[in-house]
């Protein structure tokens, strides 16, 4: 039989991260000297402590990476030191190896429960120690990588929080500006009074309500719901508020000057057509809106309205009877050349007319069922004895109660015109 000489291959060096520090804790100076020689040969920085108390002081001021501690030491045992080491506040993890002459499973389990990561039996085998250190290196490496990623995430979150705070401040200011579009919730016009409600589901919304009067006994009012939600819709409402400006009548497209003496109200269907043409003429604008717009002669009680995709206006008679009027119509800004129709309704003293957004009729209760016109009829009937803003406030309160006071999922708005008579 041919005999081959035994070849000893050099072991690969342990991949040590720069600056790794090992704290040796043992009351035996000879044992520390033996371990120190191997650790330094493998590239570790080594600190020695002759007792658990001394080691604890070192750990309090020096960020060691590995601890190799004897279990049985006078004064403070290695297990007690491990327990107290884990209680220290540290910026990074420390890998703890206990040296013991014990091999009972129960003792090792007890050590692991108190914070030890690994065990070595004495006398220490150098190859086994190196293998345990390599396992510790992997854990510390993953901990370092996780810490670095956490810091990156924290920095990104901090930056995002700053951006969010800036956006939040802008939205709060935008909400104030949007609120200024409806400066008064209640207006008196002779023997008629108008109340308004506007409740966005976010900081800003896409609903708009308003009223204006170009002269005695003449009144115009509207309810608008822009497609979508948020900032884009809010910008569109600001634009529409400019088109239907009640303070600067010369800028109001719903009015036309007559004989350079007074402003006359355009027919409602003509107002809808003008708005439709203007919206479609603007490139890049994808939003459209629904609208109910009306004018009223306070002498006769005749109201003339146009409905452009908006929910059907409701008339609540003085007797308490409620009817929904209108024929529907297409939204504004959706179809080029769309035609709109004006229809009339006669209001008697004590009657009232309500324009509202679909935030009312499409609101889902806790059962998931929409309110719809039938439910709105019920809510309106409960407000028969109320007047002014209390009517709309009560309607909104009933709506939120129906949703178990959950946040709104759509903007809610309404206009209430109460006719007392000529």
> Is the peptide bond between 123 and the residue preceding it cis, with omega within 30 degrees of 0?
yes
Q: Is residue 167 a part of any domain in this protein?
A: no
pLDDT at 205: 85
Do residues 251 and 242 touch, judged by C-beta distance below 8 A? yes
Q: Which helix (H) or strand (E) holds 392?
A: helix 389-402
Q: Which of 123, 148, 173 is the endpoint of a domain?
A: 148
Beta-sheet strands, E only, within 50-144:
66-70, 95-100, 118-121
Using the structure block, give the residue that is written with the tokens 């819709």.
233
- Are 185 and 116 in the same domain? no
Do residues 273 and 335 touch, judged by C-beta distance below 8 A? no
pLDDT at 413: 95
Helix axes 78-86 and 52-61, enclosed angle (nearest 10): 20
* CA 323 vs CA 171, 195, 223, 266: distances in Å: 39, 20, 18, 26
**Phi, psi dihedrals of residue 410, rounded to the nearest 5°:** -150, 155
User: How many whole angstroms from its chain centre is CA 119?
Assistant: 49
Q: Pick left, alpha or beta for residue 132 (phi over 0 → left; psi -120 to 50 → alpha; otherwise beta).
A: alpha
- Are 365 and 249 in the same domain? yes
Give the contacts of 77 (CB within 8 A, at least 6 positions apart).
52, 71
Alpha helices per DSSP H over 67-125: 78-86, 105-113
pLDDT at 166: 83
CB atoms < 10 A from the CB of 272, how many? Answer: 28
Block means of pLDDT (10 residues each) for the chain, 422 residues, are 35 54 93 92 93 93 92 91 91 90 73 87 90 91 89 90 82 75 85 94 89 93 90 88 89 90 93 95 85 96 97 96 94 94 96 96 88 95 94 95 84 95 68
- Are 281 and 411 in the same domain? yes
pLDDT at 103: 65
- Are 356 and 236 in the same domain? yes
Which CATH number goes with the domain that contains 212? Answer: 3.60.40.10
Q: Which token pair is 24? A: 């040796």
Going by the DSSP 8-state scheme, the letter that residue 26 receives in this structure is -
Q: Which token pair is 366? A: 């806790």
- Are 103 and 241 in the same domain? no
- Are 84 and 211 in the same domain? no
**What is the C-alpha to C-alpha distance for residues 359 and 7, in angstroms, rounded to an integer?**
85
Do residues 362 and 410 touch, judged by C-beta distance below 8 A? yes
Do residues 29 and 50 touch, judged by C-beta distance below 8 A? yes
**What is the C-alpha to C-alpha distance for residues 60 and 55, in angstroms, rounded to an integer?**
9
Q: What angle do CA 163, 167, 173 make, to 5 degrees?
A: 150
- Are 273 and 413 in the same domain? yes
How many independent structural domains does the chain possess?
2
- Are 188 and 139 in the same domain? no
Do residues 389 and 335 touch, judged by C-beta distance below 8 A? no
pLDDT at 4: 32
| Distinct helix (H) and strand (E) counts, the chain | 10, 18
Going by the DSSP 8-state scheme, the letter that residue 403 receives in this structure is T
User: How many whole angstroms from its chain centre is CA 91?
Assistant: 32
- Are 300 and 410 in the same domain? yes
- Are 36 and 135 in the same domain? yes
Q: Which token pair is 5? A: 């000489």
Q: Is residue 414 a part of any domain in this protein?
A: yes
pLDDT at 247: 85
Q: Is residue 407 a part of any domain in this protein?
A: yes
Q: Is residue 170 a part of any domain in this protein?
A: no
pLDDT at 316: 97
Q: Is residue 412 a part of any domain in this protein?
A: yes
- Give exposure, 167-181, as e/b (b: 16+ Cβ within 10 Å): eeeebeebbeebeeb
pLDDT at 7: 31
Which CATH number goes with the domain that contains 124? Answer: 3.40.50.2300
Do residues 212 and 246 touch, judged by C-beta distance below 8 A? yes
Q: Is residue 161 a part of any domain in this protein?
A: no
Q: Is residue 9 a part of any domain in this protein?
A: no
In a 10 Å sphere around its CB, with 0-12 CB exposed, 13-18 middle and 19+ buried, how is residue 248 labelled?
Answer: exposed
**What is the C-alpha to C-alpha distance for residues 414 and 354, in angstroms, rounded to an integer?**
7
pLDDT at 180: 75
- Are 255 and 134 in the same domain? no
- Are 391 and 292 in the same domain? yes
Q: Is residue 160 a part of any domain in this protein?
A: no
Domain that holds residue 187: 181-419
pLDDT at 192: 94
Q: What angle do CA 282, 288, 294 make, to 5 degrees?
A: 110
């Amino acid at each position: 039989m041919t005999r081959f000489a035994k070849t000893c291959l050099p072991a690969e060096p342990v991949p040590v991260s720069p600056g790794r520090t090992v704290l040796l804790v043992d009351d035996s100076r000879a044992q520390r000297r033996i371990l120190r020689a191997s650790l330094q040969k493998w590239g570790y920085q080594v600190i020695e402590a002759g007792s658990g108390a001394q080691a604890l002081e070192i750990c309090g001021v020096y960020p060691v990476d590995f601890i190799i501690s004897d279990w049985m030491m006078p004064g403070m045992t290695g297990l007690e030191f491990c327990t107290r080491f884990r209680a220290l506040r540290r910026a990074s993890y420390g890998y703890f190896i206990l040296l013991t002459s014990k091999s009972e499973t129960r003792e090792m389990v007890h050590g692991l429960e108190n914070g030890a990561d690994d065990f070595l039996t004495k006398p220490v085998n150098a190859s086994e120690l190196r293998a345990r250190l390599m396992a510790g290196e992997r854990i510390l490496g993953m901990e370092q990588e996780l810490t670095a990623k956490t810091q990156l995430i924290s920095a990104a979150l901090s930056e995002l929080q700053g951006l969010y705070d800036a956006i939040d401040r802008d939205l709060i200011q935008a909400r104030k500006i949007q609120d200024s579009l409806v400066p008064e919730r209640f207006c008196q016009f002779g023997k008629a009074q108008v109340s308004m409600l506007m409740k966005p589901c976010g900081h800003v919304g896409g609903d708009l309500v308003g009223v204006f009067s170009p002269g005695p006994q003449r009144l115009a009012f509207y309810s608008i719901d822009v497609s979508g939600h948020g900032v884009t819709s809010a910008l569109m409402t600001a634009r529409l508020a400019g088109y239907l400006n009640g303070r600067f009548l010369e800028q109001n497209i719903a009015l036309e000057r007559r004989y350079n003496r007074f402003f006359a109200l355009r027919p409602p269907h003509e107002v809808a057509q003008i708005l439709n043409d203007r919206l479609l003429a603007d490139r890049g604008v994808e939003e459209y809106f629904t609208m109910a717009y009306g004018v009223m002669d306070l002498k006769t009680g005749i109201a003339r309205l146009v409905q452009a995709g908006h929910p059907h206006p409701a008339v609540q008679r003085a007797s308490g009877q409620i009817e929904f009027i209108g024929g529907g119509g297409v939204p504004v800004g959706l179809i080029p050349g769309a035609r709109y129709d004006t229809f009339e309704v006669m209001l008697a003293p004590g009657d009232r007319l309500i324009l509202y957004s679909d935030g009312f009729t499409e609101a889902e209760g806790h059962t998931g069922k929409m309110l719809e016109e039938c439910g709105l009829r019920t809510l309106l009937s409960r407000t028969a004895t109320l007047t002014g803003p209390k009517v709309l406030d009560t309607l909104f309160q009933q709506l939120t109660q129906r949703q178990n006071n959950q946040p709104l999922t759509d903007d809610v708005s309404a206009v209430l015109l109460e006719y007392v008579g000529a």
